[in-house]
A and B are shown apart, each in its own frame.
Chain A
Amino acid sequence: MNGEPRKRISERALSVWRIYGMIGLAVSFIVFAAIIILIIVFDGPKWIIPMLIIVLIGEGYFFIFFIPALRWRRWRYEVREQEIEIQKGLFVVKRTLIPMIRVQHVDSSQGPLLKKYRLASVTISTAATVHEIPALDEEEAEELRYSISRLARVADEDV
């Protein structure tokens, strides 16, 4: 296990995750704003208001800066002849080994946001598990999908 998988996911993933964070923040902002208005209108306990603002700032920091950066730093993958290795995780680091021969199919998909950043996510399925690489450069994803499906066909059983 010495040595992490070599490849990183696209750096543009950071931007996408930050946008996701911002969308979440906007939703919280609307909800919190509604609560604050209700508190003012119905003369509720005022001390909740600064608490909410602190929570909002905290959320903003965590989901726009801290977590995307940490997640990106952790994310690594490597496709070798006989297997795929993936490393991910924020507080729990997970490393997954998928033997090539177990790969059933590989999908790539692209939402509007990923498309805008010319990214695609790749999903690798075995008969029992599904593994996702969340943001790769479009061309890289295409290539990966191709090479995995080629390798998966070639890989022979060594047992």
Chain B
Amino acid sequence: MSKKKRLHPISVVANIVKQLKDAILPIILVIIVGNKTISSMWDIAVPFAIIIYTIVIGIVSWIRFTYRLEEGELRIEYGVFVRKKRYIPFERIQGISISQGFLQRMFGVVKVNVETAGNQLGEAEAVLTAVTREEAKQLQRLIQKSKEKAGAIENILPQDESTTSFAQNDQELEQETKNIIFSMSFWEIFQVAVTSGGAFGVISAILIFVLQFDDIIPYEKLYKDAQKFIAHGMFYTVVTIILIFIAAYIISIIQNMMRYAFFTVEKAGENIIISRGLLERKKIAIPTERVQGIVVKENIIRRWFGYASVYIIHAGGAFNEGDPESIVLCPLIEKERIASVILSCLPDYSLNHEFIAPPKRARIRYMIRPLYFLLLPVCIVAYWLRPWGLLLLLLLPMASYFGYLSYRFAGWSISNYQLALRSRFLNVRTVYMLKNRIQSMEFSYNWFQQRKSLGTISATVMSGIGGAQGEVIDLDKEDLQTIYMWFKRTKGE
């Protein structure tokens, strides 16, 4: 496979669609601005030119994009005006993920995402938009083989530096007994969608989208209309706002349902395979040895029903999408079940144990802490909007109560080689990390903590975008000493 190869021609369409998506704003802009100034000829000519341009670019970039496997490297050459070459040695390839979008599925091809070491984010990633399934498998096989040859060298390197096995190719996977660890019913997926709080995300996305049109949309006129509208009565305004919110909520539910549809987690050999998605099937294979930590999050609504979500902190870059905790192992799971799921896919971790809370004398600090940020603004606004504004003062005890809750849920726990740190503000977040995965640990204490002999601990593990942390504030200094001794390697000073 050392010949230069092109992608499946369907990637031309994919390119054009992507380009057009980026170009759609300028086109609209031209149409609207053009309307006022120049003759109507331009209205058609300019967008037409843009569309032609994107089509040509789409085709040319397809022609220019070649890939080949040569001398143990994946070599990609691309670029329309500036020719670029990107050579990725197989040893640096951390994993391959294969997904199938709408277009790809129609033509029976797949999109291959080649993921490289996390540190140099965005530096050496490669995306093959459309290759046939056969070729994708061949690619995987070849890389796998050459990695095995390099295996002898890898063993010398520290564990998480080595770039070992990723998903074996499908056939091998099928031979191994597939072991479905976790899957979700339709009803559960619906529950995830309902409780995800994504409505805010949708509303802000719409807002951002609308704000982009700042220059085009006659806001002043709208504003005047809106004033009239509001004058018609608070009632209608409130109803409209509620309707918008409900619509956004429904959109977010649908989005999430499509996202998590057919969610399954399998264990195949040393890999955890997560697949999900309705329109776009996504399949991610994560070698267990590259898992850096586990995060259990209990969001405020799900907590009531005894549910939580489980995430994996993962060293690679490409799957993370800018958030170290974006690989969902279980979007929604009964808390009692977590331990058994983890046991079957990541047996190094143990999730059943007691947490040691911060001492009593820390409670008052937890309760005051939210007030640091709130007290001044709330007082100013309350004074400003007297008499009704005074109601805002009720926020303060509420915030304090949340502070108290954070105190109740904070804690740490050590069992053998595992450290667990739990903290809470609105969501309870518990991070589990193994000793040999922790990159560095920090103990800090400010003057106030020092007086009460308290301190803060934070531990960092590697993730695709630098690091992911667990932190607990105001632990007893003796406890910190215990953690310190646990983590310290050079014993006896």
Contact = CB atoms under 8 A, between A and B. Distances in A.
Interface of A: 1-3, 80-83, 89, 91-102, 104, 126-129, 131, 157-159
B489 A96 contact: no
Interface string B430-463: 0000111011111111110010000000001111
A99 B440 CA distance: 7
A19 to B, nearest CB: 28
Contacts of A2: 481
Interface residues of B, number: 38
Nearest to B436: A159
Interface in B50-73: none
A38 B160 CA distance: 60
B443 A91 contact: no
Contacts of A91: 446-447
Contacts of B462: 126-128
Nearest to A94: B444
Contacts of B22: none
A81 B489 CA distance: 8
Contact of B438 (A82, A94, A99): A99
Given A89-B444, A128-B439, A97 B487 contact: yes
Contact of B466 (A81, A102, A128): A128
Given A2-B481, A83-B490, A92 B440 contact: no
Contacts of A83: 488-490
B490 A82 contact: yes
Interface of B: 118-119, 158-161, 315, 417, 434-436, 438-447, 450, 460-463, 466-468, 477, 480-481, 484, 487-490, 493
Nearest to A97: B441
Contacts of A127: 118-119, 160-161, 315, 439, 462
Given A126-B440, A129-B466, 4 more contacts: A91-B446, A128-B439, A128-B461, A157-B158
Contacts of B315: 127
20 contacts: A2-B481, A3-B493, A80-B490, A81-B489, A82-B488, A82-B490, A83-B488, A92-B444, A93-B445, A96-B442, A97-B441, A99-B440, A100-B489, A102-B440, A104-B161, A127-B161, A129-B466, A129-B467, A131-B440, A157-B436
B92 to A, nearest CB: 14
A77 to B, nearest CB: 13
B443 A1 contact: yes
A97 B444 contact: no
A101 B440 contact: no
A92 B448 CA distance: 9
Contacts of A96: 440-443
A101 B493 CA distance: 19
B291 to A, nearest CB: 14
Contacts of A95: 442-444
Nearest to B348: A159
B124 to A, nearest CB: 16
Contact of A93 (B440, B441, B444, B487): B444
Contacts of B161: 104, 127
Given A128-B462, A159-B417, A159-B434, A99 B489 contact: yes
List of 10 A-B pairs having minimum Cβ-Cβ separation, nearest first: A128-B467, A82-B489, A80-B490, A159-B436, A127-B462, A126-B439, A128-B462, A128-B439, A94-B444, A82-B490
Nearest to B119: A127
A137 to B, nearest CB: 24
A81 B490 contact: yes
Given A91-B446, A91-B447, A97 B484 contact: yes
Nearest to A95: B443
A97 B440 contact: yes
Q: Which of B439, B467, B477 has the most CB of A within 10 A?
A: B439
B119 A1 contact: no
A91 B16 CA distance: 56
B463 A128 contact: yes
A1 B461 contact: no
A1 to B, nearest CB: 5
A94 B489 CA distance: 19
A157 B434 CA distance: 13
Contacts of B466: 128-129
A98 B159 contact: no
Contacts of B119: 127
Given A99-B438, A126-B439, A1 B444 contact: no
Contacts of B445: 92-93
